[in-house]
Amino acid sequence: MDAEKRKRYEAIAAEVVRLAGGRDNILGVAHCATRLRLVLEDNDLADLKAMEEVDLVKGVFVAGDQLQIIFGAGLVNDVCQVLADSIHMDSMSLGDLKTKANKRMNPLQRAVKALSDVFIEIMPGILAAALLTGLSSVLGNLEFVENSPTLYGISTLINIASGAIFGFLPLCVAYSTVKRFGGRPIMGLVMGCIMLSGSLTDAYAAAQGTAEVTILHIFGLPVELVGFQGGIIVALLIGVVTAKLDIFFEKKVPEVVRLLVSPLLTTLTSSFLLFLIIGPVGRGLASGITAVLVWMTQNLGAFGYAAFSGVQQLIVITGLHHVFGAIESQLLVDTGRNFLNPLMSVAMTAQGGAVLGYLARNFKDARAKELCIPSFVSVLFGITEPALFGVNLRYRYPIIGGCIGGAIGGLVVYLTDLAALGFGTTVVPGIALADPANNGYVNYIIAHVIALAAGFLFAFLVGMVFDRKRQAAVGDGAAAGMTGTAAGAGSTNRAAVGAETANKGAAETAADSKASAVAAPAAEEIGAYANGQFAGIETVSDPTFAQKILGEGTAIVPADNRVYAPADAVVEMIADTKHAVTLRTSAGHGILIHVGIDTVKLEGRCFTLHVKEGQRVKKGDCILEADFAQIAAAGYDTVVCLIFAELAGGAGVKLEKAGKVSVGDPIAVIGG
């Protein structure tokens, strides 16, 4: 690396460190084929928008527990090394970086983070179910819908769709949990199917005492054959166990019988643990919490009401809130009035208010609107999972504001002696169940408006407290980071150097392009680099590629395990994790071949290289093999992307092919 380049990269590194919250906020540094990856003490201290304006940065985002800064193939290697040198920190492997990210959090933070990761994966399905449930509830209460065969049929189908999604939610959670903890997602689906098997008594019917439960005796222990409908916590626990067992057996079982024996042992062991330990423990814990909360409302007066509605939505996280149906039924039989229904309803409304509080603090963020608005709409129909898992738990302070708002709403319910004459619907549709005695309808509206306003207000205020702490930390961290960066790089004014060299860098880039091409290159044909189905780069699931942040590209869904050189070229760079190769063609164009999406997490497993850096290859030479069956089984997209990352002489790209392709088929022409 020459002196001018290093100065430019040092200026970039200084800006990245400053905008990341300072040296003290950076816990780990690594890179993949195109992105610089940082683990931060607090991601909220990073100024992502300002970082997008840093020299040579093509995009910035936070994924999971890492801040990812897109530089592009080749360049990211140098920037990462300069940044690591400047803050006196060794560049890590991606595996070590992940371990570092986990260590920075305490057990509670890790649990909340894992919970958030699991539900973000399945959030689109939860949102769809919530909105369909709300629509079904509205249509079901309209007389003209019942009188029209077509509208009634549509309403029935909507009801079936929404009920099916929520009915199989534990299966989705088990799938997402196994994937989150490194197992093969299909094993999560298998365990989800077992949890909801038709051979088991329905959990809701068992809770209400309307179905007989079969009991087995295994090793002297009674085992109830009851399904796990609504058993979110059980699904989470068995998902973690299944993932760990799957990883263990995949390592220990000999390869010759692994495909048959490993999944068998994982499924069998997980099933026994589900029915003998995890299921009973999860149910017992949730039932105990439920019993305590009900006792509080019956024996502690106003405090009991406030406490119940304050934390009731936390029970929804466990999935055991369906137990309340049996309790509500008994209340109606014994007293004719159901005081739990309005308490749960105001608790839901307060969480909706917290969503609006978060939205108000982030109103300019398009992503916040995209998530918060449908989440709040679903709350209006009594479905809070999208709000809880998609917003409030994810960003921490809204859940606090929502619980406080719920407690205040519960106090209003107690003071107005509000109750319901049935159960099953809440929030907006729930007004139909309100006991009209003592101005019940008016009090229902008042209690919900107060809960909504309180949830909004306290989420907003708690968010302000969080921001003050972050701003204080930003000041301290930035000062420390600038000092550390200056010392590490041996310069007292790195920003000035960056400004001074920016124009030189631009000229240098142009000069490099000219030097590599010598003159404006002639047309160069790019051939198919795999057998399979050709697709537009816009269709891939990685936004960096789909949005063409790194340049124009193509994608092929492979039909076999080999990836080939698309043109005569020199191998410039091979990722440590073997999933990406950069080539420099004869005409001087830089091409990135990226195998799979997020396959960097496999850390080289499933890949076999047939080339090395500096090697010359001919068009059609095999450059690597990938076990796409194993990659798919691990839950990763197998699409192979080719990115035209650096075109010499300002050349353009014309795509030539669509549909099925074989190796060497012309798929693009550069220049000419």
Closest of 17, 9, 77 to residue 573, by C-alpha:
77
Secondary structure (3-state) at 597: coil
DSSP 559-587: SSSEEE-SSSEEEEEE-TTSSEEEEEETT
**Token duo for residue 648:** 């010499």
Kindly list the catalytic residues. 32
Burial of 9 (0-12, 13-18, 19+ CB in 10 A): buried
Match 């502690």 to its residue by tokens. Answer: 300
CA distance 442 to 83: 62
CA angle 578, 583, 588 (to 5 degrees): 165
Contacts by 163-167, CB closer than 8 A, 24 or more apart: 163/133, 165/125, 165/126, 165/128, 165/129, 165/132, 166/129, 166/133, 167/196, 167/229
What is the distance of C-alpha 502 from the center of its chain?
36
Pairing mode of beta strands 59-63, 26-31: unpaired
CA distance 64 to 40: 12
71, amino acid identity: F
CB 277 within 8 Å of CB 383: no
Match 């949890």 to its residue by tokens. Answer: 195
CA distance 253 to 264: 11
The count of residues in the chain is 672
DSSP one-letter code for 38? E
CA distance 114 to 99: 14
Q: Residue 226: beta bridge partners?
A: 201
CB 351 within 8 Å of CB 406: yes
CA distance 229 to 482: 54
Beta strands per DSSP E along 337-397:
none
Residue 75, CA atoms < 13 Å, CB-side half-sphere: 23
**Token duo for residue 427:** 């929030």
**Token duo for residue 129:** 């179910």
